[in-house]
A and B are shown apart, each in its own frame.
Chain A
């Protein structure tokens, strides 16, 4: 079958695909959660907003769960090091996510304004905190994270939670948060009409400018002020994974190296800009479905930009650069990567097919009339 080196690269791509899938699918209902208290002014409006994602948020959340499972299986060292190192950040994500299943399912089961308002803000928290923290986490990955391995590959995190909240990482958090809210706004505009739709469109404009501006600023900062990492020993892509077998240095501007080496990769940041602007124009022109997919492409562009800037690094170590985790040395065995690839190739198309069917069945505008008619079964 495929050789080990190719499998490692394929799994880097597949993890990217899963992250992008998560951002597109779970991202739009998280963005809707963020916008909920602002675009829905009364209970009926809020129910309209919630019911645009009501039948789908649960399936969408599995992108996140499967992404986590795939990283566990394909990159166990990354899963172990990142989740334990970012302990409090991960717990915040987890606890924020607690508000979503119960918020969606329990909110409209009791007709009491305080009860419903509490869950509305719960859905806001559940939609806002995770993308914010993932952005902050990416901001820290780009700068390197303080951790090291001992000789038995036990990882120790050398920093603190507060160290994660540095200016560059916070900027990345803002970009991520604005981008996901933007995406949720585009989706909301597609699925609603009237005033809710207009409010969503206003939010899309504001968030669009915010994330495009933030993305530009982060790019300049990355080029001028953030050191990248380079493997200084000979790289053997097909070797057995051992993160301690290499030497690594920090080099200014190293994160731009891949764009010089493979100029085509510049299409990634470029597509982030073009697709982001296209999404705003398409939405203004009333073509909300096309705008949604333009927005999705923009998400892929941004995530791809972060990924390719670091390649082959996945989680560089700032305190002990030789412990850095790369595409070559943080992976599972060849057999596991092969099996997981087969499983992904079989099930991913099926997932996309039945997800598409579910959206088709539940398609069309969600209106106040729909909520009234389905008072007992809708969220």
Chain B
């Protein structure tokens, strides 16, 4: 177990390293001078040169990369123009927003978490529940309705669903305020009412995919011998279906869920754009538009960290769910 974890974490680190190198090369190979987009027209050449020096753009690429990595691990000193000392998870200084990138991230990360975590709980419960029920009631109207729901949901686009939800609940019925983020700890009611549309939109689309997947898996499991054996030796239906069958059927769902949740935590770009909420995804989009390199780097890296960690977690969960899986 410990050995497996070590091995897995090592390969995860390797992946993250590769992502960071790739992103770094991609953005620093930009033909556009990252500085000129920061300074508007009336920017004198001296200041331009100083900024370039502060950002370390005159150093060779390798030492730029090494400096960046050192900043993440131990923190580093950026020039006085960049807020001086930058502490341990130092992601650099943004000349566009004029603050340390780690501060920006610390501000927008809770927003994305507040969108994704409740939505993920909702879509997993709804999706797996619906899939299970329709597999157990195969061929009934309930099954057909569930299939119809998942087929429709899987083909709908988030921005369209989001736009319709906004139109109905915010602009026409005026039941909900225009979506916005308030901290959960300041005002839970406002937190929920500001984000509920985003949860519903995400959960609707994702649960469609999960319902479909878990229905297929459940049907396959129900036809297996061990389920019949369990029924034959007199175990109650809820126990057979809930404990034995569900456990075997859910493994592929866990894999997909890990990827989806990990990916979504890295920024729900479309959701945040549709509802106008400033989370990690919107920040990344804004950073790309304004050529804010340190922020782009940081958002891509964080998204990669989430995906990679989610994958490690999925591997561990596998062992917990399915005793046939041995971690080596």
Q: Do A and B come from one complex?
A: no
- Residues in chain A within 8 A of chain B (CB atoms): none
